[in-house]
Structure formats: C-alpha cells, structure tokens
Amino acid sequence: MEILDPSLQGYLDSHCDAEPEALQKINRETYLKMLKPNMLSGHYQGRVLSMLSKIMQPKLILEIGTFTGYSAICLAEGLAEDGVLHTIEANAEYEEMLNSHFALTNVDKKIKLHIGPADAVLADLQENNFDVVFIDADKRNNFTYFELVIDKVRSGGIIIIDNVLWKGKVYGTEKDADTKSFRKLNEQIAVNTQVEKLILPVRDGLMIIRKK
C-alpha cells in the first residue's frame, strides 16, 4: 500500500517522532493475528493523524472504521482535555480486542466504541459539530459516509479520508470497481464547493477536507 519509494519512506519514518510503545505492541499484534494487517495506519501515517489532531485540538472526533484501534488512538492523542472520540466498527468480533488495545494507552477513557453498521450508528448518534472525522471503512461507501457526516462537521472542521490514491490505481488505467469508486469519490469532492480539499501522498493517500 506504500506509494512512495521505500528509501524515501524509510527516511520519513526515521525523521518523525517515535512510535509510542502501546502502538508498537498493537502494530505487532495486528501483523501476527489479523488477516489483512496492511489495513493498519502504521507508524508514519499514525504520526500524521496525531499531528493533525494536535493542531486542531478537537473536542469531538468521529472515526468510521476502527479495525484494531491504531488510528483511533493516534487521533485521540490530540483531543482537548474534556474531548471524546467516537469510533465505529462493523465487526462485533473485534470488540474485546479493541477494548484491550485501548486499555494499553492513556486515552482509553476518551474513546467510545460503537459496534454496528456505520449508517445505523450514525443515525442514532446524537453528537454534532465534530471537529475531526476520519473515514477508513468499506471503501465503496466512502462518499456515502462523507455525505452522512458533512452536516455533522462544524465550520472549520476537517474530514480525512484514507486510501484515496488506491495503490496508485486512481491515476492509472485500471478499471476495476474499487478503482472506479475512488476516482468517483475524488472527482465528486474536488468539485464540492462546501469544502477545501487536498490529497497528501501519505502511504495510500490521505484526502484532507476542510469544511468552509
């Protein structure tokens, strides 16, 4: 999923803050136990998410797609003292693992885990005016999730969408369904006048969207 030259990525990894010990452990366990460990945000992208969150100093974060909890913890590092992160995971089998991973950190009390389909959880979620939203779930529904959350984000808040370069396929000639889905997502957001947007070539591509 890395789109940058491995030597460049290695240099970037070695010149950012070290991966916290709890996240190192979660990283190792993910690669040992999960079928698709490459879904993990990982060290460098995790530090990018943490930095963006610390810049925003959010009181309210929403994450769609928890996986093993790595990105939730990174984002929670920047929460205001009384801040809360809501994270949604569709797979109920991950709940026990996630709670154990969150317990390794000093931000576990700030994380609220919701198990269930994202659209159903979002429909029941009472919170609005999110400062930060991170979308990293089932890829073909990315734009649906964007539409579901845009009105829940405050003016000046940001939405981050992962994997938008889709292994470099979006700017190639591939025509598979997932690639078409990402091209459509990128094109739809590019012309959306409600937001400012840019794509960072971080790992598999992070789209940063700021609501006007």
Reduce the DSSP state of residue 42 to 3 states and report it: helix
81/199 Cα distance (integer angstroms): 30
Domains (range + CATH), the chain: 6-211 (3.40.50.150)
In the chain, the amino acid numbered 192 is N
Between 190 and 2, residue with greater pLDDT: 190
pLDDT tens across 9-33, in order?
999 999 999 999 999 999 999 999 9
Paired tokens of 166:
């889709």
Report the pLDDT averaged over residues 30-56.
Answer: 95
In the chain, the amino acid numbered 186 is N
pLDDT tens across 166-198, in order?
999 999 899 999 999 999 999 999 999 999 999
Assess contact for 154 and 131: CB atoms under 8 A.
yes
Q: For residue 140, is pLDDT > 70?
A: yes
Split at pLDDT 50, 70, 90, the class of 3 is confident
- pTM value is 0.96
185/142 Cα distance (integer angstroms): 7
Paired tokens of 12:
């970037």
